[in-house]
Amino acid sequence: MSAPDLTFTHIFTPGAASSTPTLLLLHGTGGNEHDLMPLGNALAAGANLLSPRGKVLENGMPRFFRRHAEGVFDEQDLRGRALDLADFVSAAATHYGFDPARVTALGYSNGANIASAVMLLRPDTLRAAVLFRGMVPLVPDPLPSLHARVLVSNGRADPIVSVAETERLASLLRRAGADVDVRLHPAGHQLTQADLAAAQAWLRSESVLSS
């Protein structure tokens, strides 16, 4: 596909080899395509990095989908945006020449939620996902058949995502067939070094980003 199919403003940096896996970086509310690049480089040295900017603006802040209130999502918009993001990943794979079967998402907050929605609505898009501060985006009926590995890394003291919500997300993904690992840290909504260390160890132990 040609560049006009790449409908998200984004950054792509190629990895060490044409066969390398790809890390899809998905920012939180108010972030942009630059926010998670340092984290991607730190956690996945040598991987392709694909980092899109959310198309929705909320009070001038980029997001990946609309919401009615904190934790109350516009499900119709979410479904359309998730499929749009999945199409973008497919188009980017063709345009940049990376393997579409070897894409792992790393999302924070709103980015984690759109990653979960993509897995649930277009299950072949993502091989694995690291979800920082994620919650249940929607519950498809019927559930898809997932073959993805997922790390959910949340905070016990998060005022936005409760421990019960974390468990609900893990349960939903497991019922859909995903292999889910949950880490709860003594933290709020912001990321900590414990999150990053856990994600790095998980990516290595699961060989998610191995060539």
The catalytic residues are 109, 158, 189
- Separation CA 46–CA 181 (nearest Å): 24
- Separation CA 179–CA 197 (nearest Å): 20
Query: Which residues, 6+ apart, have CB-to-CB distance to 156 below 8 Å?
Result: 163, 184, 185, 186, 187
- Separation CA 172–CA 167 (nearest Å): 9
- Separation CA 130–CA 103 (nearest Å): 11
Residue 115 token pair: 């990653």
Q: Using alpha carbons only, how large is the chain's radius of gyration in Å?
A: 16
- Separation CA 35–CA 118 (nearest Å): 21
Question: How does DSSP assign 9-32, residue by residue?
Answer: -EEEE--SSTT--EEEEE--TT--
